[in-house]
Amino acid sequence: MKKVKFIYNPFSGENVILDELDKVIRIHQKYGYIIVPYRINKESDISEALHDIDEDYYYILVAGGDGTVDSLVNAMKAKNIDLPIGILPVGTANDFAKFLDIPSAVGEACKRILESEPTPVDIGKINDKYFINVASTGLFTDVSQKTDENLKNMIGKLAYYLKGLEQLPNFRKLKVKISSKELEYDGYMYLMLVFNGQTAGNFNLATRADVMDGYLDVIIFKAVSIKDLIPLFIRVIRGEHLDDPKVIYYKTKELTIETDEDIVTDIDGEKGPGFPLHLQCIEGGIKVLGIK
């Protein structure tokens, strides 16, 4: 019987996975696989879960949100592990798994994963770190980092929105310089997102993104007057913002971002590197199971 390394985050979402552990093991045994579990805790690095990976392992199953999957991908790249991954989306933010149409029900997701073939998908790289869904900078980008973990588990995405409201008094335009083959921009913005996936915080922003096209989707919300923000937000909700003149949107394989502003970066809900930033798309960077 081949082995499956099962990495789960008991703190993700509303601790859903804790009630599903037997189901995960039972389904895998039915398909002829042995589950080797590893419980993530706040004191250890996820790379410790990979110390025994060898040729007996078929794939790595991870239960958690975007941040957990992101940490796993970075640990795998650091150790040159090229196994396929399967995702059980049980975190507060599961944007990447939703983009790949992975079922939210644990049992259904396990069966889909076990009955599928590995599919190469793109990942992003920002300086020396990798990301699966989105890298961002500008206003509100550190909301996830500042939101208490217990609050996330209690009220889910609402916790992010409440934390975002606290930052409204700091609303200001930001000077940035963006360089790429397709675009040179030296001006002001409020928020910039570089997508490998499609959604962020449940908002479908990169509506034209394709995780297998070898490109990142760049969205820059330019600094505009306050009166223009409400109609722009309405266009975002309708999915019509990419063609709005107050938004810069394009696809690229790599770009550079520079700024002297006192702002942070975020990659999949976790703190990202400092400026300057060099981002690139790693085409077919990981293999994922469970994609239709």
In terms of C-beta density within 10 A (0-12 exposed, 13-18 middle, 19 or more buried), how is residue 270 classed?
A: middle
Tell me, what DSSP letter sits at residue 212?
Answer: T
- How far apart are alpha carbons 11 and 80 in whole angstroms? 27
Tell me, what DSSP letter sits at residue 103?
Answer: -
| Radius of gyration (C-alpha) of the chain in whole angstroms | 19
Residue owning tokens 């079922």: 103
What are the φ and ψ backbone dihedral angles of 75, each rounded to 5 degrees? Answer: -65, -40
Q: Catalytic residue among 14, 254, 261, 270, which?
A: 270
Q: For residue 270, indicate whether it is catalytic.
A: yes
CA 70 to centroid of chain Cα atoms = 6
The set of residues, in sequence order, having a beta carbon less than 8 Å from that of 170 and lying 6+ positions away, is 139
- How far apart are alpha carbons 177 and 118 in whole angstroms? 38
Residue owning tokens 């913005």: 189
The beta strands (E) that lie in the chain are given as: 2-8, 33-39, 57-64, 85-89, 119-126, 129-131, 134-138, 174-180, 184-195, 199-200, 203-204, 216-222, 247-252, 254-258, 265-267, 270-271, 277-288
Do the Cβ atoms of 277 and 256 come closer than 8 Å? yes
Catalytic residues: 270
